[in-house]
Amino acid sequence: MTTRERQRSTAEERRATVMRTAISTFAERGYYGTSTMEVAKAAGISQGYLYRLFPDKEALFAAVVDYCSKRLLEAAAATISSVRSTDPEVILKALASSYGDVVADRELLMILMHGNCAAGEPVIGEAVRACYAKQVEYIRAASGASDEQIRRYFADSLLANVVLAAGIGTVDAPWARTLRG
């Protein structure tokens, strides 16, 4: 029997592990309800090592928001590439249809919700604003939609986030049916 030398993971691999863990941990309890100790423990590293990868909790959460922003852009790009029309309404309708699939990833949905709630923290607020800026400008450039069309798309998407996060889809009441559309 030969013994294999244990291979150490690189900082980049550890960083990726921490990101996956942080997404799950923050999605469950939010920025304010999650400690860096919990993230470090779940990632199988020390809190000290976590701070070598990310300078503080705000920076870690901002990185998580940025990761989710990239996922949203990738999903939007995939949807837009499949649309065979240049009509902004057709493109926005396709984006709206596919958005439900994107936020069906409960962790991504909850990071978006928690990010909005923690946007009063300077670094997180900047990450949330950057997320919205990237989404709006990408959709503007890719669809040719007007400001009003884009505003309506985002209003409907943000309402969809609330409906999903709050479990309104399972409520059989007139007010819930109104919000679901």
> Do 42 and 29 meet the contact criterion of CB atoms below 8 Å apart?
no
* Residues above pLDDT 90, as percent of the chain: 88
Residue 75: both structure tokens together: 């999903």
Report the range of poorest mean pLDDT among 1-15, 36-50, 152-166: 1-15
Question: pLDDT digits over 111-143, tens only?
Answer: 999 999 999 999 999 999 999 999 999 999 999
Q: What band does 5 get if pLDDT is binned at 50, 70 and 90?
A: low
Give the pLDDT confidence score for residue 72 in this predicted structure: 96
| Mean pLDDT (whole number) for 60-75 | 96
Please report how the helices 122-143 and 57-82 are oriented relative to each other, as an axis angle in degrees rounded to 10: 10
> Do 62 and 126 meet the contact criterion of CB atoms below 8 Å apart?
yes
Indicate if the pLDDT at residue 85 is higher than 70: yes
Residue 83: both structure tokens together: 């649309």
Model-level pTM?
0.89
CATH of domain 57-180: 1.10.357
Query: Which stretch of DSSP H or E encloses residue 124?
Result: helix 122-143
Residues constituting the chain: 181
